[in-house]
Amino acid sequence: MKDKRLLISVVDDDQSICESLPDLLREFGFAAKAFSAGEEFLASDELAQTSCLILDVAMPGMTGLDLQNELAIRQQRIPIIFITAQRDEAIRPRLLKLGAVECLLKPFNEPDLLEAINLAFQGNH
């Protein structure tokens, strides 16, 4: 990849997220690539270049948690920001305990997303 900017990959089965979020990330100054499924991301060349992963919790087939587990098995240490439409109060603490940088509820706002990305790149996780 010739782009020297940090790559943020987005994995979400929601077509509108896959179309809009990479554009926003590019506006923030990052390189961005979207995938509609965890399996697609794992099979991609971008896996090794990804500096941060924005990952939907609930997807058909491989869920966000399944992908997080698979990355751990492969020893791919990529900071993960989960996004979810689920209004379950217990999910955020659980995801953070499992090593996620942040868990944002959809629809999230730009400042919250940028703050989570900055946290991911601080390397505290």
Question: pLDDT tens digit string along 67-122?
Answer: 999 999 999 999 999 999 988 889 999 999 999 999 999 999 999 999 999 999 98
pLDDT digits (tens, 9 = 90+) for 19-59: 999 999 999 999 999 999 999 999 999 999 999 999 999 99
Instruction: Return the amino acid letter for 84.
Output: T
In the structure, what pLDDT confidence band is assigned to residue 1 with cuts at 50, 70 and 90?
Answer: very low
Instruction: Give the tokens for residue 89.
Output: 């109060």
Within-domain flag for 28: yes
What CATH code is carried by the domain that includes residue 71?
3.40.50.2300
For residue 124, pLDDT over 60 is answered with no
For residues 106 and 120, what is the distance between their CA atoms, to the nearest angstrom? 19
The label of the residue with tokens 């703050």 reads: 115
Residue 2 lies in a domain: no
Structural domains of the chain, count: 1
What does the buried/exposed string (b/e) look like for 79-110 if buried means 16 or more CB atoms within 10 Å of the residue's CB? bbbbbbeeeeeebbeebeeeebbbbbeeebee
What's the rounded Cα separation, in Å, for the pair 10 and 53? 6
Amino acid symbol at 26: R
Domain holding 34, by residue range, is: 7-121
Specify the pLDDT at position 88: 86
Please report the pLDDT score of residue 89 as a whole number. 87
On the CB side of 74, CA atoms within 13 Å amount to 13
